[in-house]
Chains A and B, each alone.
Chain A
Amino acid sequence: MTLFWPIALTGLAALAPLAALYLFQRWASPREVSSLLLWDHLARLTPAGRRVDRWRRPLSLLLECAVIILLVLAAADPLLRVREAPPVVLVLDDSFSMLATDSHGASARERALDLVAPLLERSGTVLPVVAGHEPRLLAATDTPGLSRALDAWRCTNREADLHAAIALAREIAGPQARVLVLTDAPPSAVTTGVRWLSVGAPADNAAIVAAVRNADEIVLDIANFSAAPLARSLTLSSAGDSAERPAPIIPGGQTSRVRLPVSENAGTVRIALDATDALAIDDIATLAPPSPRRVPVRLTLREETLRDALASALRVLPNATLSDASALVTFSDRTGDARVIFHTSADDAPPVGYTGSFLVDESHPLGEGIDLAGAVWAAPASLAGAPLPGRGVILGRSTVLASVEGDGTVHVALDIGASNLARHPAWPTLIWNIVQLSVRDLPGPDRDNVALHDLVRVNIDGAFPATHTPPSGTGAPLLPVDGRVETILSELGAHTFTSGARTHTVGVSAFDATESDLRDRAPFDSGEEGVAQAEALGARSFAWVLALAALAVLVWHARLTMARKGATP
C-alpha cells in the first residue's frame, strides 16, 4: 500500500492536543437534579491541588482519536495495488534548450526530474527513452537504478523528435504503458494516453546561430531572442591567446552578421559571446581552420591539345591542383585505373559535331550548371556503335557525350580539336564538376565545422591506427569501412581525427536558432485525475472506505455524547 498524499499525515499531530485536553481537563457533563439527597453517597473526592487526573471517559477519547486517524488516512489517499502496474515510459527531451536555467539556476532538465520523482517512486518498471534527432532507449530499470540511467540524458541535441520517441515507447512497452513526456514547451496537439509535462518558461536569450570560417575571416550570425537591444562583446581565443572584440548592437528580435578577421595560421578558434542569459551552450562557437579541399589531379593524356586545355582549367580551379606524385584523380584518354576517361577519335575517321540541342541532366552533380548553348561539341564517330558506359549526363541529340559509372568513373567523349568547348564558358564548369565528384574522397572529414549532433564523414586514407579524440580527451579507435567512418559528434568543442601522420580537426558548436529561441517556452501539464492516475498505476484508492468509517465512528460518538447529556438548565 502506498499513500498518494503522504503530507496529509501531518494531521496526526492533532492527536497530541486532543489527548492533553482529556488529560488536563475534568470533563464532567453538567446535570441538574431535584435534590442531592440521593446522590451524596456517590460524590467523588478530589484531592486538593491536583489538576491532572486520570483520563475520564476513555471511550470518547478513543472514538475521537479514531476519527482523526481515519480522516487523516483518508486525506492521505492510500492506494492498494490490485495488479502489477504497467511500466512507465519516460520520454526525455534531449534538445539543448532543456539546459536553459530559471531565476534560481535550475535547468529545465533538473526541474523536470524533481517534478516526476514522486510519481516514479510509486511506479514499477521505468523505461527511459531519450528523444534526440532519433529516439534512443536507455536500459529499463526500477526506480533506484533510474538516477544512474538518467546520467545518459545530456540534453545536447539540436532537436528532439518527441513523437518518434512516443511511437517507440508504445512499440516497446505496449499500449497499456503510461507515457510521460518531459520537455520544455507545450505540444502542438495533445496525444491521447500521453501525459505531456513541460517545465519550460519563457526567457530572453542571445546565441551564435551560425558561423563560417574562411581562410582569413570568420563570419558569425548572432541572434537576439529578446525584446531589448543586445550590446555584447566577443572573446576570441586560440592556442592560449585571447582577444576581445566588440559586437554590434543587435536590436530586439533581430539577427546580425559579424565578420571577424583571423590569421590564416590560427588554429582552432573559440568564440564566446559575453551574454549572461538563460542558456550558455549557444554562446560559444568552436571553429576549426578550413582544410584545403584541392583534389590532386594527374593528367595522362596523349593528345597535347586536350592536355593543355585541361591543365589550363585545372590551374585556375580552387578545388583542384595538378600533381603527378600524389594524385587522387587521373584524367586519361586510356582506359585503366583512371578516374576520368576522355574518349577521342582513335582513327582518322572524322568526328561528329554536335551543336545542339544538348540535353544536360542538371540533377546530377556532373551536369549541375552546364549550359552548352553555342557550343560545338565534336565526338568520335564510333560512339554511334559503342556508346559511353554508365549513366548519361550530357547528351547531344541522342548521343551520350558524358556519363558516370556506378563506381564514379567519368567518361567524356570529346575531340577537342574539332570543338570550341575549351573556349566555351561551360568548359571550366564541366571540369569543376568532374573534380568535385572526387572531393568527397579527400582524406579527412567532409566538413571542418559542424553543428551539434551532425553526421560527419571522415575518409581514412588507410593509415592505421585511426583515432577520434573528442574535446573531453578520451580517444577512441576508428574502424573505417571502405576507407570511411561516419560518426555523430555530440560534444561541443574541437574533435581531432588522427590517421597516420594526418590530423584533422572538426569544430562542433550548438548552432540552432529554434532551440536558442526560448521566448515560446511555457509550462504545461496535460495531467490526469488523481484517481485515474492511481488506477493506471495498478492501484485502487480506498480513501472512501476510511471516510465512511470515520463517519460511522462520528455517529457513534454523537450518540454516546447525547446519551450522556442530562437535564441542563
Chain B
Amino acid sequence: MIDAGRWREAIGTGARAAAGLTLAVPSRPSGTIGAALGAGRGSSVEFMEHREYQPGDDLRRIDWGVYARSDRLAVRTHREEVSPFLDIVIDASASMDLPGSGKAEAVISVCAALLDAARRSGFTPALYRCAERCEPVPLEGGALLPGAWRGFTAEETDARAIRDACSRLRRGGVRVLLSDMLWRDEPAPLLSAFARDAARALVLHTLAPDDLEPPPPGTYRLRDRETQRRIDVEIDAAAAARFRARADAFVGACRDACRRSAAELIPVAPGAKWTDELLRRQVLIAS
C-alpha cells in the first residue's frame, strides 16, 4: 500500500532543503540544444570569448570592432546551449526502510531536492526504482509525486535490477544512485556499469547510525530486514569493537569500489545536513 502521506512530508522536506539551489551542470554534458549553458562553445547568445580568425570561420562572426582597434581579425565565440540529463536510481530494497532509522525519508527527501534543483537548472530528470526489477517512476513536471513512490519493498537488492537500470541511463548525464550498498554481490561491477558514459556518477551512500554503531552491551536476537533471517549476538566491549571495525571496513570498501569505478561516494545520513555535503561537493550550487 502506498503511504502517500509519509512520502509527501519527505518530498516537502527535500523541496525546502533545495530551495534556492540548482544542480551543477557537469563539464561534459551531453544532450540536445536546451536552456542550459554548457561549458563549451555553442550557438547561444551568451558571448564567451574572442579567438583568432581561422579560414573557414563564419564571416558573420568577425568582430569588426576588434579589427578596427587592433588590425587583427578575431571572431566571437558563444557558449553552447545544452539540455543535460539527470538519472536517479533508488535502491528500493527493504533495508533502505529500517523502521525508526529515517533512511527511507532521507532518500526521498534527497531525491526530491535533486529533482527540484535539476528542474531549476534545466535538467531532464528520470527516476528509476530498483526493487525486484527496475521500473521507471513517473514524474510530473520533473517532480516526484507522493503517490508515485511505491515504497521500499524488495526482499533483497537484486543486482540484475540495478544492471537493468544502468542500461537505461542516458549517456553524458548526471547519474545519482541512492543506496546503502548492503549488497551480497560485489559492488564494483555494478558501480562500473553505473558510472560508464556518465558525465558525473554520484553514489549517495545512505546509512543510518544504527547501521554503523553497535547497540549497548547485551544479548540480542537480530533480524535481517530483507531476508528475515535471525541470529543471536552478544555485545560486549570486544564484540562492539569488532563490529565497528567491520563497519569501517565496509564503508572503506564502498569508497574504494566507487573510486575504481569513477563514481563519487557521498555519505548521506538521516537527520544530518546532507545539503551541506552536496554543496561542498558541488553537486548543488546556490543559484
Name the interface residues of B19-58: CB closer than 8 Å to any CB of A.
none
Given known contacts A42-B239, A56-B234, A567-B101, is B219 in contact with A36 (CB within 8 Å)? no
Determine how close the nearest CB of chain A comes to the CB of B178; give it in whole angstroms. 14
Q: Give the CA-CA distance A26 to B218 in the complex, in Å.
A: 11
A276 at the interface (CB under 8 A from B): no
Cβ–Cβ < 8 Å partners of B99 in chain A: 32, 567, 569
Cβ–Cβ < 8 Å partners of B222 in chain A: 31-33, 36, 39
Q: Give the CA-CA distance A42 to B100 in the complex, in Å.
A: 23
Does B225 contact A35, Cβ atoms closer than 8 Å? yes
B229 at the interface (CB under 8 A from A): yes
Interface flags for B185-219 (1: CB within 8 Å of A; 0: not) read 00000000000000000000000101100011111
Determine how close the nearest CB of chain A comes to the CB of B45; give it in whole angstroms. 51
A41 at the interface (CB under 8 A from B): yes
Determine how close the nearest CB of chain B comes to the CB of A563; give it in whole angstroms. 4
A37 at the interface (CB under 8 A from B): yes
Does A35 contact B216, Cβ atoms closer than 8 Å? no
Does A44 contact B234, Cβ atoms closer than 8 Å? yes
Cβ–Cβ < 8 Å partners of B227 in chain A: 36
B261 at the interface (CB under 8 A from A): no
Does A34 contact B221, Cβ atoms closer than 8 Å? no
Given known contacts A42-B233, A566-B215, is B98 in contact with A30 (CB within 8 Å)? no
Interface flags for B91-103 (1: CB within 8 Å of A; 0: not) read 0000110111101
Name the interface residues of A6-39: CB closer than 8 Å to any CB of B.
26-39
Does B225 contact A566, Cβ atoms closer than 8 Å? no
B246 at the interface (CB under 8 A from A): yes
Counting contact residues on chain A (CB < 8 A from B), the size range is 20 to 34
Q: Give the CA-CA distance A56 to B232 in the complex, in Å.
A: 12
B242 at the interface (CB under 8 A from A): yes
Tell me how many residue pairs across A and B have CB atoms closer than 8 Å: 104
Determine how close the nearest CB of chain A comes to the CB of B157; give it in whole angstroms. 9
Residue of A nearest to B100 (CB): A567
Name the interface residues of B129-188: CB closer than 8 Å to any CB of A.
180, 182, 184
Given known contacts A28-B232, A33-B98, A43-B231, is B226 in contact with A564 (CB within 8 Å)? no
Which of B95, B99, B103, B218 has the largest count of A CB atoms less than 10 A from its CB? B218
Cβ–Cβ < 8 Å partners of A423 in chain B: none
A529 at the interface (CB under 8 A from B): no
Q: Give the CA-CA distance A113 to B244 in the complex, in Å.
A: 72
A50 at the interface (CB under 8 A from B): no
Determine how close the nearest CB of chain A comes to the CB of B37; give it in whole angstroms. 42
Q: Give the CA-CA distance A46 to B217 in the complex, in Å.
A: 19
Cβ–Cβ < 8 Å partners of B243 in chain A: 38-39, 42
Cβ–Cβ < 8 Å partners of A56 in chain B: 218-219, 234
B3 at the interface (CB under 8 A from A): no
Cβ–Cβ < 8 Å partners of A30 in chain B: 220-221, 223
Q: Give the CA-CA distance A29 to B230 in the complex, in Å.
A: 12
A171 at the interface (CB under 8 A from B): no
B67 at the interface (CB under 8 A from A): no
B9 at the interface (CB under 8 A from A): no
Residue of A nearest to B233 (CB): A42
B95 CB contact (under 8 Å) in A35, A41, A43, A44: A35
Given known contacts A35-B182, A37-B184, A567-B101, is B223 in contact with A43 (CB within 8 Å)? no
Interface flags for A449-491 (1: CB within 8 Å of B; 0: not) read 0000000000000000000000000000000000000000000
Determine how close the nearest CB of chain A comes to the CB of B217; give it in whole angstroms. 8
Given known contacts A31-B223, A32-B223, A34-B208, is B218 in contact with A564 (CB within 8 Å)? yes
Determine how close the nearest CB of chain B comes to the CB of A57; give it in whole angstroms. 6
Name the interface residues of B89-132: CB closer than 8 Å to any CB of A.
95-96, 98-101, 103
Chain A: residues with CB nearer than 8 A to chain B?
26-44, 46, 56-57, 563-564, 566-567, 569
Other than the given A35-B226, A39-B233, 14 more pairs (CB < 8 A) read A28-B220, A29-B221, A30-B220, A30-B223, A34-B103, A34-B226, A35-B180, A35-B224, A42-B243, A43-B231, A56-B234, A564-B218, A566-B210, A567-B99
